[in-house]
């Protein structure tokens, strides 16, 4: 947050004139002096029809060493500045009100705005009665008649962020008393970030990867997600990068995403919306493949692979098995009914899902055979024994 500083100085003028210049000044032009906080610098201030430029007490302005009228007195009254609490670079004009209380009914003021290098910043504008502008290396607004105790004006902020801005104000009242200096600090407005652009949702294994373009002035981002368009449920706030991995996405579910940008001034509107459907991981290779031979067949079994939708059985008469025998097998068992008795076959299996195909399982082999005939029974004699 940038800060806008307001140095508020109160000066009251006395009708006592000093030196041979007294005959040159009318009653309404009696000089008054602005005191810095340490009381060492005293500035000439004429409330009658406005003071010369450079009488606000800002750094580099006229002091007692270069002016002709140095007055002192007991601090009295209050000068305040209101309506302005912040500025927005390249934003709307800021309205300013300077008020003087407790220091008489005949009053005057002068105001300037400087950056941290004590140079002119922005543009001061006359908007209220009995005020006028003094221009030069710095802008000043001052009274044009000592008939009020409150004055209004406006300030046009600079087109870009220039950091801290200090408004210096001196005010005077005709009670023949002294003056004081106070300071008020407020936070400057930083524009709400623009909406993020270029949001892109990319489906990945068991997650969705998001990325987007940075928003000027953003300090963080909020990711929104839903299973229908116009995502409005917060998935993650406080994201400080322009990317995010949604690792809570469920495989096979389509999600819709939007992003907003935030800073101390608030949250932007939504980015464009994008959607993606996370995919499953490629299955691990099946394990524990066993081949059991039979008569003109071989039975295969294996351990299931997590995440597999189907299996592919490979067969060959020489190792390694690399010829597809069957695809789309949905169980973890298969019977090769095309095997020829007496031939040795080698087998391997892979697991498949929408993400791809696993590597090969272990390899096994078997040779189908015609079952052996049962042994013949012993020939029993039926003759009679004599």
> What is the predicted pLDDT for the residue at 11?
45
> What is the predicted pLDDT for the residue at 188?
58
**252 or 161: whose pLDDT is higher?**
252
> What is the predicted pLDDT for the residue at 383?
52
Taking the alpha carbons of 195, 196, 197, 203 in that order, is the dihedral positive or negative?
A: negative
DSSP-derived letter for residue 39 is: S
Going by pLDDT thresholds of 50, 70 and 90, the confidence category of residue 182 is: very low
Task: Reply yes or no on whether the pLDDT at 71 is more than 90.
Answer: no
For the domain spanning 197-276, the CATH number is 2.60.40.10
Going by pLDDT thresholds of 50, 70 and 90, the confidence category of residue 18 is: very low
> What is the predicted pLDDT for the residue at 103?
61
Instruction: Give this prediction's pTM.
Output: 0.50
- State the DSSP string of 185-205: EEEPP-PPPPPPEEEEEEEEB
**Residue 243: which residues within 8 A CB-CB, separation 6 or more?**
209, 210, 211, 212
Task: Reply yes or no on whether the pLDDT at 134 is more than 80.
Answer: yes
Task: Reply yes or no on whether the pLDDT at 23 is more than 60.
Answer: no
Q: Other C-beta atoms within 10 Å of 124: how many?
A: 23
Q: Cα 171–173–176 angle (5° rounding)?
A: 130
Task: Reply yes or no on whether the pLDDT at 305 is more than 80.
Answer: yes
φ and ψ of 27, to 5 deg: -60, -40
The Cα 192–Cα 163 span in angstroms is 17
> What is the predicted pLDDT for the residue at 14?
29
Beta-sheet strands, E only, within 264-332: 266-267, 274-276, 287-293, 298-303, 310-316, 323-329
Average pLDDT of every residue of the chain: 79
Query: Where are the domain boundaries for CATH 2.60.40.290 in the chain?
Result: 3-187
Going by pLDDT thresholds of 50, 70 and 90, the confidence category of residue 145 is: confident
Class at the top of the CATH hierarchy for domain 287-366 = mainly beta
Tokens in use for 377?
């029974």
Tokens in use for 278?
């996370």
Each residue's pLDDT tens digit, 73-115: 455 567 777 777 777 778 889 888 888 777 666 577 888 888 8
> What is the predicted pLDDT for the residue at 261?
97
Using CA atoms of 252, 258, 261, 262 in order, give the dihedral in degrees to the nearest 10: -80
Average the pLDDT over each of 57-61, 175-179, 193-197 and give the range with the smallest value. Answer: 175-179
Average the pLDDT over each of 13-22, 155-164, 271-280 and give the range with the smallest value. Answer: 13-22
One of 3.40.50.720, 2.60.40.290, 2.160.10.10, 3.90.950.20 is the CATH number of 3-187, namely 2.60.40.290
> What is the predicted pLDDT for the residue at 203?
95
Query: Where are the domain boundaries for CATH 2.60.40.10 in the chain?
Result: 197-276, 287-366
């Amino acid at each position: 947050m940038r800060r806008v500083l307001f140095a508020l100085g109160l000066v009251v003028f006395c009708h006592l004139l000093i030196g041979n210049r007294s005959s040159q000044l009318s009653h309404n032009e009696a000089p008054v002096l602005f005191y810095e906080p340490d009381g060492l610098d005293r500035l000439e201030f004429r409330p009658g029809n406005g003071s010369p430029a450079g009488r606000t007490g800002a750094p580099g302005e006229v002091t007692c060493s270069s002016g002709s009228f140095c007055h002192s007195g007991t601090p009295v009254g209050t000068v305040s500045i209101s309506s302005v609490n912040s500025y927005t670079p390249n934003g709307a004009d800021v309205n300013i009100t300077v008020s003087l209380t407790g220091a008489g009914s005949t009053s005057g003021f002068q105001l300037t705005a400087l950056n941290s290098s004590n140079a002119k910043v922005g543009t001061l504008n006359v908007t209220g009665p009995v005020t006028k502008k003094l221009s030069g290396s710095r802008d000043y607004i001052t009274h044009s008649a000592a008939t009020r105790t409150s004055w209004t004006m406006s300030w046009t902020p600079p087109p870009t962020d220039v950091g801290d801005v200090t408004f210096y104000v001196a005010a005077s009242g005709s009670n023949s008393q002294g003056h004081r200096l106070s300071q008020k600090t407020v936070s400057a407005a930083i524009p709400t970030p623009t909406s993020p652009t270029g949001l892109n949702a990319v489906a990945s294994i068991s997650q969705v990867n998001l990325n987007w373009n940075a928003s000027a002035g953003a300090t963080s981002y909020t990711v929104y997600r839903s299973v229908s368009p116009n995502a409005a449920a917060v998935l993650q706030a406080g994201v400080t990068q322009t990317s995010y991995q949604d690792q809570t996405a469920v495989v096979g579910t389509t999600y819709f995403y939007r992003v907003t940008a935030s800073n101390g001034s608030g949250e932007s509107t939504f980015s464009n919306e994008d959607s993606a459907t996370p995919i499953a991981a490629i299955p691990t290779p099946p394990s524990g493949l066993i081949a059991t031979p039979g008569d003109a067949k071989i039975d295969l079994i294996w351990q299931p692979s997590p995440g597999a939708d189907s299996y592919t059985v490979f067969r060959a008469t020489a190792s390694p098995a690399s010829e597809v025998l069957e695809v789309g097998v949905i169980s973890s068992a298969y019977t090769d009914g095309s095997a020829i008795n007496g031939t040795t076959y080698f087998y391997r299996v892979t697991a498949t899902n929408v993400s791809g195909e696993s590597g090969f399982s272990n390899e096994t082999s078997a040779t189908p055979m015609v079952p052996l005939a049962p042994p013949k029974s012993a020939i029993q004699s039926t003759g009679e024994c004599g």
